Amino acid sequence: MIDFLIKKIDWIDVEYWFYLLNDLSFVYIILPFFVVELIRYGFIKKLNKDVIFDSIANVITFGAFVIIEYILGILAITKVYFWMHYNFSLPHLPLNMVTIICCVLLADFAYYWDHRMMHRIGLGWATHTVHHSSEHFNMSVAYRFGPMDAIFPILFSLPIVMLGFDPILVLLSEVFVQVFQTLLHTEIIGKFPKPIEYIFNTPSHHRVHHGSNRQYWDKNYAGILIIWDRMLGTFEPEVEKVKYGISEPLKSNNPIKVFLHGISRLFRKIKSVKGIKNKMLVLVKPPDWEPKEY
């Protein structure tokens, strides 16, 4: 058993597994699921113009996100990650089952904190609100990204590189967590058996995360494992029917407006508060924070 866990694995095999799990999952799971969801919308007479335009806006924001991610990818992954790896890292870890599993778990934990930060600081929410602004909940919503959604994860994955993990493995693990997260955006699946719901993030837990019901705000940040939320005090089970969206609804399917509304709202808020200190605090305080004199 130990031998199996520590046996050196070739990169070609690791890349092949992640190719199957990350890249191809769009074809064999995400797209079929979305089609089933559309059929379901048809059956329950909810397949309307709004769902269609919302989904199109989601895909367009994803396109914009990919362009930003690609530019950042060249800069951050090939330069910053490797530079940190060679200059500020613990001894480099070999590639085996243990290091891969630990890296995925660390990437999942980093995702939790990245996600929590995006909800709890003004600058983070300015970009992440895009993802939450849809009033629907289906696989296409998973692709609804904000303009800075690619930047924040770098801050949280760099420490993993510094712990000795290979930068490419860290990147593949991050994508794996993101793909797992994508699969949770569905209303088709109710609840899984209790042990699964206890350990893993599930569609039920993630519906709560997308809820605009007051008790569901800032809950269930997890990527793969919901135990992070249970351990860090942010878990909330799905009880009341979830109402999707944000507290101040966007009411638009214009992709440009969808993509940039968080940033424009942030700028408006910065403009409205008095004093340089307060303006700076808007960026780092929670999104609902107001200066004392207000």
Partner 1 sequence: MKNSKLLFISILIIAVLAGTAHLFAGIESTGDTETPVFVPSPAIQEEEEQVQRQPETQQQKTNWELLEGKWEVMYKSDDFTGSIVYRISKDKNSMNAYTVKYIDENGDSLNSEKLVLIVKSFSGKSGKGTYKLEYEGKAYDIPCKVKMTDPNHFELSYSYYDYSDKETWTRITE
The verdict on 231 binding partner 1 (CB under 8 A) reads: yes
Output 29 or 102, the one with its CB closest to partner 1.
102
- Among residues 103, 161, 258, 266, the one that binds partner 1 under rule CB under 8 A: 103
Shortest Å, Cβ 3 to partner 1 = 6
* 41 or 112: CB nearest partner 1: 112
Contacts of 202 (CB under 8 A, 6+ apart): 184, 189, 191, 192, 196, 226
Q: Which residue has tokens 């130990």?
A: 2
Size of the site for partner 1 (CB under 8 A): 33
Q: Could you tell me how far CA 262 lies from the centroid of its own chain?
A: 16
Q: 260-288: buried (b, 16+ CB within 10 Å) or exposed (e) per residue?
A: bbbbebbeebbeebeeeebeeebeebebe
Site stretch for partner 1 (CB under 8 A), options 52-60, 69-77, 144-152, 226-234: 226-234
Q: How many residues does the chain have?
A: 294
Chosen residue from 55, 61, 99, 157 binding partner 1 by CB under 8 A: 99
Site string for partner 1, 159-178 (x = CB under 8 A): x---xxxx------------
Nearest to 210 by CA among 243, 177, 188: 243
Residue from the set 32, 42, 63, 94 that interacts with partner 1 by CB under 8 A? 94
Distance in angstroms between the alpha carbons of the first and the last residue of the chain: 62
Tokens describing residue 46: 């909810």
Residues in contact with partner 1 by CB under 8 A are 2-3, 5-8, 10-12, 86, 90-91, 93-96, 98-99, 102-103, 105-106, 109, 113, 159, 163-166, 228, 231-233
